[in-house]
A = this chain, B = another copy of it.
Amino acid sequence: MKHKFTNDYSSLCHPLILKDLSDIATEQNVAYGLDKHSLNAESLIKKTFNSPNAKVYFLSGGTMTNLLFISYALKPYEAVIALETGHINVHETGAVESTGHKIITVKGNNGKIYPNDILDALKIYKDEHMVKPRMVYISNSTEIGTIYSKKELLDLSKVCKENNLYFYIDGARLASALTSKYNDVEPELLGKVCDAFYVGGAKNGLLLGEALVINNPSLQKDFRYHIKNKGAMISKGYLIGAVFESAFKNNLYFDIAKQTNEVADYLKEGLAKLNVNMLESPTNQIFATFDKDFANELIKEYGLELWEDKGNELVVRFVVSFTTKKSDVDDLLNFVKNK
């Protein structure tokens, strides 16, 4: 059967991580995330992202992580600013609103929010008959695979601080962003530039889980109560802790992403040689345009997601994951070549 390019969460786990889990299968651990593996993983993550005062919480999914942090930080009448196309606004089935909060949407550009988007929103939302903006939410890499530069993150951070807005970064694909060859953001910047961010696991070859890093000490108090209150504290917390410990103890987390990006680059180069029209794409998601009939063949053969219907042409998404081999790419390129 052909390798699918559907997404980066269709395969269970990098074998090295499963191996580490097997080694502790019958070990007894403290429950609810207070175990030695979680503590070690927390310590490794704080070091990696240079946030000595951070607290790290290991959670079972991205939507849950977003709703937990946002609903913790905001008062009932406060809102979070996000892109119209932001994951929390479109693809989380109203999870943020489910906790009582409005999302204020801005248009942005190239999948990214810029300071002016925020300032424009602040001009509108200014009295008690409207929600009060209190946080900015971005993703890095973004929904369309683009990445923020160091300067862009610093600019956003500045405008947030000046306007009493928390700055929160969804890192579902943070690994892919930070290991892109176009990236100029050091991991250490994440510890400083924002109030909180999460280190995505599931989309980077980890068994499951995301690590929420709350840099801002004023947003840490009783956060574990909040996790439990929203149903997100799992009894075997050491499971996710051990997964992240395994990923961070020897740089495996970034190695996986780097290798995935390299395979993605190999695919991009191959498609470029075949004159396929692609969007800018520095990470492991590639958006390419084909005529309708062939696009539908690709979708069928390679499990692609249809991204945009332009009538005669379709934009489809290729996602490269930790199980994608260069030979899988070669097979795909041959298919395109022989269309």
Binding site for B on A (CB under 8 A): 3-4, 6-7, 9-15, 18, 21-22, 24-32, 60-64, 66-68, 71-72, 75-77, 79, 90-95, 97-102, 128-132, 202-203, 207-208, 222, 224-226, 228-236, 238-239, 242, 323
One complex includes copies of this chain to the number of 4
- Interface pair B79/A235, CB less than 8 Å apart: no
- Interface pair B102/A202, CB less than 8 Å apart: no
- Interface pair B10/A31, CB less than 8 Å apart: yes
- Pick the residue among B63, B101, B225, B231 that contacts A63 (CB under 8 A): B231
Question: Which residues of chain B are near A72, meaning CB under 8 Å?
Answer: 75-76
- Interface pair B25/A10, CB less than 8 Å apart: no
* Given known A-B contacts A12-B239, A239-B12, A97 and B93 have beta carbons under 8 A apart: no
- Interface pair A91/B130, CB less than 8 Å apart: yes
Complex CA–CA separation, A330 to B11 (angstroms):
43
Question: Which residues of chain B are near A12, meaning CB under 8 Å?
Answer: 21, 24-27, 29, 236, 238-239, 242
Question: Which residues of chain B are near A235, meaning CB under 8 Å?
Answer: 7, 9, 61-62, 202-203
Question: Which residues of chain B are near A100, meaning CB under 8 Å?
Answer: 94, 97-100
* Given known A-B contacts A29-B10, A228-B93, A236 and B207 have beta carbons under 8 A apart: yes
- The smallest C-beta distance from A305 to any residue of chain B, in angstroms, reads 11
Task: Determine the residue in chain B with the shortest Cβ distance to A66.
Answer: B231
Question: Which residues of chain B are near A67, meaning CB under 8 Å?
Answer: 231
Instruction: Name the residue in A29, A61, A77, A323 with the highest tally of chain B Cβ atoms < 10 Å from its Cβ.
Output: A77
- Pick the residue among B29, B132, B203, B222 that contacts A77 (CB under 8 A): B222
Complex CA–CA separation, A147 to B161 (angstroms):
44
Complex CA–CA separation, A27 to B208 (angstroms):
15
Pick 22 A–B contacts, CB within 8 A, sort by A. Answer: A4-B28, A7-B31, A11-B27, A12-B21, A12-B27, A13-B21, A18-B25, A61-B232, A61-B233, A61-B235, A64-B231, A75-B226, A76-B230, A77-B98, A92-B231, A93-B128, A97-B97, A99-B100, A128-B224, A132-B222, A202-B236, A207-B239
* Given known A-B contacts A11-B26, A132-B222, A234 and B61 have beta carbons under 8 A apart: yes
Instruction: Name the residue in A28, A29, A90 with the highest tally of chain B Cβ atoms < 10 Å from its Cβ.
Output: A28
Task: Determine the residue in chain B with the shortest Cβ distance to A225.
Answer: B77
- Interface pair B94/A63, CB less than 8 Å apart: no
- Interface pair B229/A94, CB less than 8 Å apart: yes
- Interface pair A28/B9, CB less than 8 Å apart: no
- Interface pair A15/B11, CB less than 8 Å apart: no
- The smallest C-beta distance from A139 to any residue of chain B, in angstroms, reads 15
Q: A7-B235, A71-B76 are in contact. List 8 more A-B contacts (CB 8 A).
A: A12-B21, A12-B25, A77-B229, A93-B229, A94-B100, A94-B102, A97-B101, A202-B236
Question: Which residues of chain B are near A242, meaning CB under 8 Å?
Answer: 12
- Closest A-B pairs by Cβ, 6 of them: A64-B231, A77-B225, A93-B228, A77-B229, A94-B102, A9-B235
- Interface pair A25/B15, CB less than 8 Å apart: yes
